[in-house]
Amino acid sequence: MELSVDLGRNLKLKNPVLLASGTCGYGLEFENFYPLSKIGGICTKGLSYKPIEGNPTPRIVETSCGMINSIGLQNIGAKAFVEEKLPLLAKKDTKIIVNIFGYSLEEYIKVVEFLSEYQEIDGFEVNISCPNVKKGGIQFGTNPKLTKTLVSKLRKTTEKHLMIKLSPNVTDITEFAKVCEGEGADSISLINTLLGMAVNIETKKFSIKRKMGGFSGPAIKPVALRMVYQCVKAVKIPVIGIGGISNYKDALEFLLIGAKAIQIGTANFFNPSCGKEIVEGISNFLQNKGIENINQWIGSIEDE
């Protein structure tokens, strides 16, 4: 069974299953559940050049079929990452995609420039879509002109694989996908969280301190599937599907409509073994269907 997929520019995954940024820490935590070598790769927690403490608590709330978070991009910073986490991660025989962000154009460039020196890093996923910070983040992902400038500058900054993570909080996501392709991005990943809110009728308070946060989990899957499909149609670069994927059937749906790989996010919180289970589930499904190579499944939806 051939499960490998090629995302371009030296990023070939042994299978199309990645763990989504912010839902798997720096990856090492998952070794308690299964060896990371089972999956295609991990997208690390978003890194900025300097460490960030994140937003005040409460910053996570469960909803009927998903969660809302407002972590505020808490992270240990790029320097601590390469010293404390990267040497251990690099031994794991899986691809390391470092998710990065900045509060300004200069900060995005600084972190990519710094991390590009490290051979162990296989590629970058650039978060232009975080709804949980006061400034920066989302403004790059909701203004096509800023997206264009950012991607063009980052392309000149690194030779490594450049995956741009898009925000669903826009009117036409394909406009952003096309801008990324035009400026030399190697792939795009989508979707990041949708802007959501939850309130508590007993305490009469907002459930999370910053009132609004990023909504993720099973409830967002149909929205994600629709946007991934639209982007697959709009660009030629690989599209990585994210949003509400909890089992192998969800993953197969995204691949069927043309996603070249998928990421598992919120599901890691309620089933930390689901990365491994999804790889096994995909493999068994294809075997039962007599499909020898996953690339025969990818994009094979009957699309009149």
Of 110, 161, 165, 260, which one interacts with ligand FMN (CB under 6 A)? 165
Catalytic, 43? Answer no
| Count of CB atoms situated within 10 Å of the CB of 107 | 16
Its sign, for the CA torsion 107, 237, 263, 145, is positive
Segment near ligand FMN (CB under 6 A), from 2-10, 63-71, 88-96, 233-241? 63-71
Instruction: Return the DSSP state at 193.
Output: P
Segment near ligand FMN (CB under 6 A), from 33-41, 150-158, 261-269, 280-288? 261-269
- Which helix (H) or strand (E) element contains residue 178? helix 173-182
Is 193 an interacting residue with respect to ligand FMN (CB under 6 A)?
yes
Of 5, 7, 9, 22, which one interacts with ligand FMN (CB under 6 A)? 22
Of 46, 196, 258, 275, which one interacts with ligand FMN (CB under 6 A)? 46
Is 55 an interacting residue with respect to ligand FMN (CB under 6 A)?
no
Size of the site for ligand FMN (CB under 6 A): 28
Nearer to ligand FMN, 272 or 291 (CB): 272
Distance CA 246, CA 224 (A): 13
Instruction: Return the DSSP state at 25.
Output: T
User: Pseudo-torsion of CA 214, 218, 220, 226, nearest 10°?
Assistant: 150
Distance CA 233, CA 219 (A): 24
Distance CA 189, CA 41 (A): 14
Its sign, for the CA torsion 127, 244, 12, 94, is positive
Is 243 an interacting residue with respect to ligand FMN (CB under 6 A)?
yes
The residue from 24, 43, 65, 130 that is catalytic is 130
Of 266, 275, 282, 286, which one interacts with ligand FMN (CB under 6 A)? 266
Residues that bind ligand FMN (CB under 6 A): 20-23, 45-46, 67, 69, 71, 73, 99, 127, 130, 165, 192-193, 214, 216-217, 220, 242-245, 264-267
By annotation, the residues acting in catalysis are 130
